[in-house]
Structure 1
Amino acid sequence: MSRRVLVTGGASGLGAALVTAFVARGDRVLVTDVREDASVPDGASYLRLDVTSEADWEAARAHVEEQWGGLDVLVNNAGIASGGRIDVATLEEWRRVIDINLLGVVRGCRTFTPVMKRQRSGHLVNTASLAGLVHPPGMASYNAVKAGVVALSETLQFELAPYGITTSVVCPSFFRTNLGASLSGSDTVLQSIARRLIDRSGTTAEQIAAEVVRGVDAGRPVILTDRPGRRAVLAKRFARPVYEREQHGFARRIKEAAEGAADRSTTKDGA
């Protein structure tokens, strides 16, 4: 059965892969992003949407109701990569990632929940991250907002069920995407580490998107998209000493990388 689907951040990365997967399934898809225009596959249309703008969200709701008469699936996917040690990342960086990655999802849910309540049907799909369930060092802001998306999604899972509305949260681990190119901020050490983890991943955005569509079709409340993510969640729950050992080891690697960068900077300045 064809569904009416809106995907935020759909012009690139995981968003674009999700658009392709939903279109291949036979769904009608509205692609949204902050660009003025973007190329989209046959079966999809495009609308500019900045997830930090309530006016843009209201325009998207009006567009969907005028063109389709409602919405079956909202995919709150838009987001930015962020991170940084607690004493390095700035408060402005914290505010930006909260506004986009958390409040962007909140705005989407607030905008389309009334539409879905009137329909007595619908599906909210919120892209979080494995970082919403497993919290490695050096990523405090990203971990916090993604954990917030997980908590929001679980809350809505129960709150909206009486209205026939399903809620899912998507929690992928590192996968190959252009997200690494968007990394910015004060903590260049963490940016370098994160880019290496993204580039070395054996999982593609297309693989993640295929698993998301399967999870949405099945109505799964938590969609763990890959084996490394499932393994990490199980380790945290059932093998806590192993999980803690891995996180402490990662923290030591961050410390060594930071000290190495500081030494290179001192040597360069003294040359």
Structure 2
Amino acid sequence: MSLFSHERSYRDARVLLTGGCSGLGLELTKLFAADGARVLVGDVHEQAPEGVLPAGVEYRTLDIRSDEQWEEARNWMEANWGGIDVLVNNAGIAAGGRLDVEGMDNWKRIVDINLLGAVRGIRTFVPLMKAQRSGQIINTASLAGLVHAPAMASYNAVKAGIVAISETARWELAPYRISVSAICPSFFRTNLHHSLEGKDVQMEETAVHLITKAPRGAAQVAATAYKKVKQGKFIVLTDPDGQIAYFGKRYSPLVYKALMLQAGRRVGSGKTPVPPIIDKLQSLGAKH
């Protein structure tokens, strides 16, 4: 449900989007630009890869772990565009592994990037939005923030954190006419798997397979997400797999529990835990 009744227009909107040079971020950048928005992409490259960003899109180096670079991005937005209308916290990495295998360095890395990166963005730009009494925050979470499969503890934790922060911000910022959305896609084809560097190599090989062989690409996920964030939707489920898993957890908890226990046993035997869960929840959905 949206707290605001109208579908917003992004023509001339001032947008900052992190992680916009590839994957979902790039596809969202294309959609904002096509709608006439003014878009600043922040990413870790010194310069945007040649020919990647749409014409007219601005670029700045923005490592979302850096308070100083967030401050510089805010200064640029104020100096050049006089403020911000839409903040898209999209940049992130993939991680995962069994609880007793994944290393603490990997935990710290994904928390600093996927969770605290978004926190830094919100802390940086909410004062501007409050002063304007308008704005929108779009956080890229994941189905993993809603449905917590085995062997994905660190990724589940940070994405659940993004959902929790998004809900908190939704209520806290509504009086200032600031809307919040959390995009929660299931697996889709992207380059996210290149960021994997943990100790649980076996489970990471599974993650690579699930990402590279997913039935949907980033453009398809972005198109669905974009339509829903324009409408101000809060939890944005982008695909049938995610809807079935999410609502199966909520409305068929005993079945969900049985499937997760089965998935845990599969992890213990070194097999992928995720596809059997989705397949069976899909069967459940078809019967109801």
TM-score, normalised to structure 2's length?
Answer: 0.87
1:197 maps to which residue? 210
In 1, the alpha carbon distance for the partners of 2:34 and 2:259 equals: 39
Stretches of structure 1 lacking an aligned partner (at least 5 in a row): 259-271
Task: Show the counterpart of 2:134.
Answer: 121
Distance 2:92 2:209 in 1: 19
> 1:30-179 residue pairs with structure 2 within 5 A?
30-38=40-48, 39=50, 40-179=53-192
Instruction: Give, in angstroms, the shift of residue 191 of structure 1.
Output: 0.5
Does residue 29 (structure 1) correspond to residue 71 (structure 2)? The answer is no
User: Cα deviations across residues 52-103 of structure 1 (Å, max 9, x unaligned)?
Assistant: 0000000000000111101111000000000111111111111110000000
Paired residue secondary structure (1:166): strand
Alignment correspondent of 1:229: 242
Structure 1 position 257, deviation (Å): 2.1
Equivalent position of 1:263 in the other structure: none
How many Å apart are 1:116 and its aligned residue? 0.4
> Which structure 2 segments of 5+ residues have no match?
1-8, 272-288
Instruction: Give CA deviations for 1:14-53 in whole Å, capped at 9, x if unaligned.
Output: 1111111111222111111010011421131100000000
Structure 1, 236-245 or 212-221: larger mean CA deviation:
236-245
Give the Cα–Cα distance (whole angstroms) in 1 for the partners of residues 177 and 102 of structure 2.
Answer: 41
Q: Name the counterpart of 1:14.
A: 24
Give the letter for the 2:25 counterpart: G
SS at match of 2:180: strand
Mapped to 1, the partners of 2:270 and 2:45 lie a distance apart of 36
C-alpha separation in 1, matches of 2:265 and 2:205: 15
Match of 1:24, as an amino acid? Answer: A
Amino acid at match of 1:53: S
Superposition RMSD in Å: 1.1
Q: Which runs of 4+ in 1 moved over 3 A?
A: none
Q: 1:215 Cα shift?
A: 1.4
Distance 1:232 1:182 in 2: 26
SS at match of 1:219: coil
Determine the structure 2 residue equivalent to 1:266. Answer: none
TM-score normalised per structure 1: 0.93
Q: Helix, strand or coil: the match of 2:269?
A: helix
Report the AA paired with residue 262 of structure 2: G
Out of 101-110 and 175-184, give the one that drifted further.
Answer: 175-184
Q: Which one of the candidate residues 233, 255, 260 is aligned to 2:268?
A: 255
- Corresponding residue pairs, total: 258
